[in-house]
Amino acid sequence: MATKASRTAARLMISPAVILLLAWMIVPLVLTLYFSFLRYNLLTPSGNPFVGFENYYWFLTDPSFTAAAVNTLLLVGGVLLITVVGGILFALLLDRPMFGQGIIRIMVIAPFFVMPTVSALVWKNMFMNPVNGILGHIAMGLGFGPIDFFGNMPLGAITIIVAWQWLPFATLILLTALQSLDQEQLEASEMDGANWLNRFWYIMLPHLARAITVVILIQTIFLLSVFAEILVTTNGGPGTASTTLTYLVYVASLLQYDVGMGSAGGVVAVVLANIVAIFLMRMIGKNLDA
């Protein structure tokens, strides 16, 4: 179908998308890069002098950066752990024969469609509030003191909230992958004498390996940018206890009005994300050829 005329037409049809995305990518990133080399604070009306890597130096050596980096690692790692393990378990469970599977599936998937600000506030107040929240009531009913989630483990609390939101995603992906497993393979292994654990370890898990990788990589990309949940619950506090890299950049940029520093932070965040993206690209690229 490809003649010269249709090729030119095709290029014309793709160009608006390409131009827009190019502009969206390049223009702001170049600006961020540029700002990161300036001393530029919206509150101090000085001349925005070029200061080289000074912003990066201060950003990376500030103790809040280390804290933020650690917190980001903990948050992403924690959510990944809960969602991948939980996702596999849920997928295995939902793959079994049962009554009302459709309804149960909907219940499991629903959290993903709740907007982050709602999730965060509902969990913080109606569930985790030590005095009035459900978890507090249940704890007291069972005879022991309530956990002050946001007081004692703010990052942990946020991890729980984010995990609740993303568990459905992992479950759905893994369930889809599980259901594509050839039943006959399992039956053959049963004839070969494999019990359930064997079948899970040697057949199901390897089949799921690719889906698990996809889940981990895609979730990581999105988890690195968790923002709303932190904003509406802890504002990164107390201190920097629940500040992640993303939130740190936000604080520097829009709360401290330090454009230079915030931009440096932004560049750091982009570099990190790119490293993850490279792996993801290879994985998807393999699939595009399929």
Partner 1 sequence: MARAVSTRTKVLNTVIAGTLGFLMFFPILWIIILSFKTEEDAIRAPLEVLFQSGWTVENFLTVQARSDYFKHFSNSVIISLGSTLLGLIIAIPAAWAMAFVPAKRTKDVLMWMLSTKMMPPVGVLVPIYLIFRDTGLLDSRIGLTVVLMLINLPIIIWMLYTYFREIPGEILEAARMDGATLKEEILYVLTPMAVPGIASTILLNIILAWNEAFWTLNLTAANAAPLTAFIASYSSPEGLFFAKLSAASLMAIAPILIMGWFSQKQLVRGLTFGAVK
Stretch that binds partner 1, among 48-56, 61-69, 197-205, 226-234 (CB under 8 A): 226-234
The torsion region of residue 52 among left (phi > 0), alpha (psi -120 to 50) and beta comes to left
24 belongs to the binding site for partner 1 (CB under 8 A): yes
| Residue 81 interacting with partner 1 (CB under 8 A) | no
Q: How far is the CB of 145 from partner 1 (least distance, A)?
A: 15
Question: CA-CA distance, 109 to 60, in Å (whole number)?
Answer: 39
Number of H helices, E strands in the chain: 14, 0
- Using DSSP, state whether 38 is helix, strand or coil: strand
What part of residues 37-66 is at the interface with partner 1 (CB under 8 A)? none
Between 24 and 53, CB nearer to partner 1: 24
Euclidean distance between CA atoms 64 and 132, whole angstroms: 32
Q: Among residues 41, 224, 241, 256, which is the contact residue for partner 1, using CB under 8 A?
A: 224
Are the C-beta atoms of 61 and 75 separated by less than 8 Å? no
Beta strand ranges found along the chain (DSSP E): none
The whole-angstrom separation of Cα 168 and Cα 28 is: 33
Query: Does the footprint of partner 1 cover residue 154 (CB under 8 A)?
Result: no
Closest separation in Å from C-beta 72 to partner 1: 11
Q: In what helix (H) or strand (E) does residue 203 lie, and over which residues does it extend?
A: none
> Is 72 an interacting residue with respect to partner 1 (CB under 8 A)?
no
Task: By CB under 8 A, tell whether 7 contacts partner 1.
Answer: yes
121 near partner 1, rule: CB under 8 A: yes
**CB of 202 closer than 8 Å to CB of 194:** yes
- Tell me the DSSP string of 87-113: HHHHHHHHTS--TTHHHHHHHHHGGGG
Q: Does 267 bind partner 1 (CB under 8 A)?
A: yes
Residues 242-261 that bind partner 1 (CB under 8 A): 245-246, 249-250, 253-254, 259
Footprint of partner 1 on residues 175-214 (CB under 8 A)? 176-177, 180, 183, 210-211, 214
Closest CB 269 distance from partner 1, rounded Å: 5
One symbol per residue from 91 to 110: x for binding partner 1 (CB under 8 A), - otherwise; what is it?
--xx-xxxxxx-xxxxxxxx
CA angle 261, 266, 269 (to 5 degrees): 130
Identity of the amino acid at 204: M
For 50, phi and psi rounded to 5 degrees? -75, 130
Residue among 79, 173, 204, 216 that touches partner 1 (CB under 8 A): 173
Encode burial over 143-166: b for 16+ CB neighbours within 10 A, e otherwise: eeebbebbeebbbbbbbbbbbbbb
Residue span binding partner 1 (CB under 8 A) among the ranges 12-20, 55-63, 70-78, 198-206: 12-20
- Asked if 88 interacts with partner 1 (CB under 8 A), we say no
Interaction of residue 141 with partner 1, rule CB under 8 A:
yes
- Give the interface size with partner 1 as a residue count (CB under 8 A): 110
**Contact pick of 152, 227, 238, 239 for partner 1 (by CB under 8 A):** 227
CB of 109 to partner 1, least distance (A): 6
Q: Shortest gap between Cβ of 172 and partner 1 (angstroms)?
A: 6
Cβ 264 to partner 1, closest distance in Å? Answer: 10
Please give the angle made by the CA atoms of 33, 35 and 41, to the nearest 5 degrees: 150
